Amino acid sequence: MRFFTWFLKSLYHRQSILASRFRQTIHILGHVCFTIFVALIPYCLVLSVSIWSGITLIEQTLVEEDIDFSITQGVLQTSVESTPSVLELNESHQIIIDPTNELTVDRLDYQGILLQEQSVVFHTANVNQALSYTLLGEGVFTKTDILEKLSDIKSFLPILLVIISIIVLSVMIGLAFLGISLLAFVGRFLQRRNPSITYVHLWKIAAHTITLPVILFAWIIVIGDFIPLLLWIGLVVALYCYLIIRLPQKKKSRKTA
């Protein structure tokens, strides 16, 4: 079978998943990498949009609002007396200046941007991403300098977003291989009485078994807030019914007279 045929059948076809133990290791590695890539597509898209819109909001706010702060050697400096200081951008977005790191992302009620001591955090309904001020460079940066830097960052931001996505993808692929190894170890422990099933066989089977759960879990986390719960339940039930229909039927044995 071709690569994409294996990938599609690993979503539902038990016989193909069991037969995967005979595939070459290089094909298994490619399968895992492609699975994680498909699973992270929504996350990387939402992350990219969030960072782009966040930088745009910062740029617009610095132009319109009378905010007094600077960044010295990668550390936020502000003359605002009461911190954290909240600036309302619109009904659902805000900028919070928090140089003492009193707030955490899980305590934010609105989507927006959190300026902390050493990093800026972009907070949305599904993605939280922190970027260090060191991306601006070394030295002292006033609001005017930061506006110029933001303009420069936006010019190469697409490349930066690709690099961030690659880093996230690499980390998740490493975690996936670790999880597959642990899953195969548990399977080997349960199947220790069957000498024909080796650890390598179980590792290859586990690599194909995780395909559907990993993709569904990653997609639900990211786009779950945009799709009603009842629709998700309907999709899962429909998928379950489809898998049941795809199960091989047992042949009826003919009764001998």
140-to-56, 70, 115, 155 alpha-carbon distances in Å = 22, 7, 16, 22
Token duo for residue 159 = 């490349």
Cα-Cα end-to-end distance for the chain: 42
pTM exceeding the 0.75 threshold for the entire prediction? no
Is omega for the bond preceding 84 within 30 degrees of 0, making it cis?
Answer: yes
Query: Mutual orientation of helices 143-190 and 25-64 as an angle, nearest 10°?
Result: 150
Q: Hunting for tokens 């019914």 — which residue is that?
A: 241
Least confident among 67-76, 120-129, 149-158: 120-129
Distance CA 68, CA 80 (A): 7
The secondary structure element, H or E, covering residue 238 is: helix 229-246
Give, in order, the Cα–Cα distances in Å from 92 to each of 66, 88, 97, 126, 194: 21, 8, 17, 14, 59
Instruction: Give the pLDDT of residue 256.
Output: 46
Q: Model confidence at 10, in pLDDT bands (50, 70, 90)?
A: confident
10 contact partners, CB below 8 Å, separation of at least 6: 16, 17, 20, 31, 208, 209, 211, 212
Quick: pLDDT tens for 147-174.
887 788 788 888 988 998 999 999 999 9
Do residues 121 and 129 touch, judged by C-beta distance below 8 A?
yes
